[in-house]
Every structure is written in C-alpha cells, then in structure tokens.
Amino acid sequence: MALDARVEGLATSATLAMNELAARLTSEGRELFRLGFGQSPFPAPDEVVAALRDNAHRCDYLPVRGLPALREAIAAHHTRLHGATVKADNVVVGPGSKQLMYLVQLVLDAVTIVPTPAWVSYVPQARLASRPCVTVPTAIDDGWRLTPAALEATCREAAGDQGQLATANGGGAGRGAPGASGRLAARLPLLILNYPGNPTGTTYQESDLAALAEVAERHDLLVLSDEIYGDLDHRGQHVSMARFYPDGTLVTSGLSKWCGAGGWRLGCLLVPDALSRVGDAVAAAASETYSAASTPVQHAALQAYRGSSEITAGLEAQRRILATLGSWCAERLGAASVRTCKPQGGFYLFPDFGVLADRLAERGIDTSDELARRLLTETGVATLPGSDFGRPPRELALRLAYVDFDGAAALRACAEREIDEGFLRQHCGRVLAAIESMCEWVGR
C-alpha cells in the first residue's frame, strides 16, 4: 500500500518520541512532571458545562458557518475585547481553530510564511494542503517576535528581488514543505502570526502590530492571525492584528484555551468583508468535510461567549495565576543562566540553554532533542525540544508548558488570598518543583 508523499513521515515527530518515553517511565513507576503537553489546567466554567448538558438533546445539524446567535456572540466578544470590528457575517464556526486554519491553507493558492519558533501544526498543514512554506527565524533578543525588517526581507525575496522566497532572511530560513521548487513570487504570501505565542509565551505590542501591518499592506500579504491565546493575555489587553490590518487579516480563535474546553472542539475564523471569497471557500470546504461543529457544543459556546460576571472573574483569576507562575519560572530559570523571555500570555516558556552549551556538551548534550530526553530521564521533567517548533536541532531551546497543577483548586483558592510565592508553592507546587529540579540539574 502506498501512502501519499504528503503524509509520509508526518507522525514521527520528536513530540511522539517524548510521549512514548514518558509513557514508558510512568509504567516503570517514575514520577513525572508534565511540562510537555500544553493543555489548559483550568476547568470550563460551571455555567458553560451546564449549558452543554442542557443542550445534549439537540441532535440536528446546524448551518455550516455556525449557530447564528453564536456567530453574533463571537463577533461581539472580539469587537468588545480585542479592538477589531467584527460582524456576525464575518464569523465561521468550526470544530476547532486548527481545522479552520487548515481549510484556510487549503483554499488559498498561497505560499505560507511561518515565523519560528512556531506552533507544531502550521508547517504540516501546509504540507497536507500541498502549499509551499517558508520559515523565518526570530530571535530571543526580539522576544521571539517577527520584526518588520525580517518580514520586509522575506517579502522582497518573495517578490523575486533576490531569487526564491525559501532563502529569505539568511541562514536558518528554510522550506517546511515539499513542492516549493521554482520561484514563489507568483503566489500570494500568507503570513501566519500567533500571539500570545505557543511556544514562546510572548506577545506583540500595538506598535509592533502597526509596524508589521504597514509592511504587510505594502506587500499585499494576507495574514492569518492565530489569536487562540488572546483572552489569556496576562494583562487582559490583547489587541487583534485585524485592528491594524483590517482588510488583509483572517483571525482564528476558539474555546480551547481561555475556556479550558480544548476537547469540545470549538473554534472560529473571522473573515473581513474584503476577503469574503475566502470565507465562502472555507464554508464550501467545510460543508464537504465536517458539515458543522457539534450542536450541543455550539450552544455551550454561546453561553461562554455571551459571558457573565462569574466567567469574567474566573478569566481574570486565570490570568493572574498564569502571570505570577510564568514570571516565577522565567526568573528562576534566568537565575540559573537559562535565558527565558518573561511570559506575557498563555502558559508557555521557550527557554534557551545556549549559554550553557559547553557544559552540556561535556555531558554529551548538543541538540534540543537530547536535552529534552536527558532532562526527562534524569529529572522526570517532561518538556518538548525546540526542534519540534521549527528551530535548528543544535539550538538548545525547550518548550515548557507550566500547567502541571490543579487549576480548579487554584482558582478556588485565589478568591481568598493573594497570589504570591506561598500561593504558588501550595497550589502550583509541582511546576515549582520541576523548575527547581531543572535548575539544579543544569547547575550540576
């Protein structure tokens, strides 16, 4: 049996290898600290869970683009909180933003531009959709953010100034998908932005977005702005790229992170009027593949997006816990000479152990894969190697998800007390222990 070239090798990432190693260590009775898998530690709000239960009897299909009232509520949420102007007509609801992002890549004849480190699925999705893909490395000194200058350089190369887009931005940039042969200039460039970022934990300020928008507009880019962690901006001040580049930005988001409901599979795509053909094509592709997102889940999502004072208070508490915990971890790692950007949103850190390269090399560690593997076997701390996120194998970076704690208990407790180190020790003790153990291990 022959598999299509696009799927050959797709399932063999180091993430899976790490999961297998973690499973084996667990079966041997080892206690592990789970900083590898990035899932919200917080439960979905009670009233949203109740809405799911109350709507379980609804078995009819919903319209492909989603329940009209939900599309209204999503539009209002993004307009009110993220500074974009969104109408219900601009919203497509789907079974997770991941699926919607894939459909965007599928329906556009584009070359996808992905700043790295990047979430693990953008490049494989480009490959599945047979789209050429260009990665553009970012730097820890820039907070792992794409700079307008790097975007400009990438666009110039796309326009054919210096040849193929795949050589943009000097060493390190590379192709993430087959089929990128020949000049790419004829294709529409589709830039994927993600902030607050997975794996970086950093975000873009308004001035950064305005500067990127200026470059994007000049070069006629489309932007797919993955804002799934937007509501987990630690200051609660997420601003959408759509505010700065309204006619060229598609935004994705959903319930998975801020509402702790990843497994419910509910995402949304916001399509500006100027790109309505893209929305139509996504809806057509959706109708031929998944039909519509689950009906009971859409009713529960309606409750979540309409919101309430309890939901708002819960979200604020999540942000305070994540901000304090993430900063504690970054500072502790920094004190152990592991460079780490202060987190600004979501629940990830992307520390760089490069300063310690000589010491680690003496221990036979010279790739991020080996670093993650040895950390896991020698300290029980599960992380993911930076190479899984599009970084060079020899860059000693890891992704940490600081989520190994009981989010429900932490939320209850923070209603009664300040979130200080004592709080973190009591309610997020496993994360603190994992970071301390990593720091002790690198200092050995």
Ligand X SMILES: Cc1ncc(COP(=O)(O)O)c(C=O)c1O
User: Which span (90-98, 217-225, 331-339, 377-385) binds ligand X, by CB under 6 A?
Assistant: 90-98
Q: Judged by CB, which is closer to ligand X: 241, or 414?
A: 241
- Dig out the tokens for 397 from the structure: 């970076």
Q: How many residues bind ligand X (CB under 6 A)?
A: 13
Under 8 Å between Cβ of 131 and 111: yes
96 near ligand X (CB under 6 A): yes
Binding mask 403-432 for ligand X (x = CB under 6 A): ------------------------------
Residue type, 122: Y
Distance CA 233, CA 47 (A): 23
Cα 363 to Cα 310: distance, rounded to the nearest angstrom: 51
**231/248 Cα distance (integer angstroms):** 22
Q: Cite the beta strand spans of 173-282 per DSSP E.
A: 174-175, 188-194, 222-226, 249-254, 267-270
Query: Could you say whether residue 98 binds ligand X (CB under 6 A)?
Result: yes
Applying CB under 6 A, among 146, 228, 336, 398 the residue interacting with ligand X is 228
Between residues 261 and 414, which has the closer beta carbon with respect to ligand X?
A: 261
**Residue ranges with strand state E in 330-380:** 348-349
Instruction: Give the CA distances from residue 431 to residues 51, 244, 322, 382, 406, in Å, rounded to whole numbers and listed in that order.
Output: 32, 37, 11, 11, 11
Site string for ligand X, 321-360 (x = CB under 6 A): ----------------------------------------
Binder to ligand X among 33, 42, 102, 119 (CB under 6 A)? 119
In the chain, the amino acid numbered 164 is: Q
Task: Please report how close the Cβ of residue 253 comes to ligand X at its closest, in angstroms.
Answer: 8
Q: Which is nearer to ligand X, 226 or 395 (CB)?
A: 226
Per-residue contact flags (x/-) with ligand X for residues 267 to 286, judged by CB under 6 A: x-------------------
The half-sphere exposure of 185 on its side-chain side, counting CA atoms within 13 A, is: 9
Structural element, H or E, at residue 89: none
Span of 64-72, 172-180, 254-262, 401-409 interacting with ligand X by CB under 6 A: 254-262
**Degrees to nearest 5, angle at CA 395 with 165 and 439:** 145
Comparing every residue's Cβ against ligand X, the nearest one is 96
Q: Does 66 bind ligand X (CB under 6 A)?
A: no
Tell me the window of 71-79, 96-104, 179-187, 383-391 that interacts with ligand X (CB under 6 A): 96-104
Should residue 262 be labelled a site residue for ligand X when binding is judged by CB under 6 A?
A: yes
Per rule CB under 6 A, is residue 241 in the interface with ligand X?
no
198 is an interface residue for ligand X by CB under 6 A? yes
The enclosing H or E element of 94 equals strand 91-94
Residue length of the chain = 444
* Cβ-contact 245, 223 below 8 angstroms: yes
Which of 97, 125, 240, 344 is the binder for ligand X (CB under 6 A)? 97
Site for ligand X in 157-196 (CB under 6 A): 194
Identify the sign of the CA torsion 432, 433, 439, 442. Answer: negative
15 to 44, contacts with ligand X by CB under 6 A? 38
**383 is a contact residue toward ligand X (CB under 6 A):** no
Contact 252, 58 (CB under 8 A): no
C-beta of 81: minimal distance to ligand X in Å? 17
Q: Could you list the residues that contact ligand X (CB under 6 A)?
A: 38, 96-98, 119, 194, 198, 226, 228, 254, 256, 262, 267
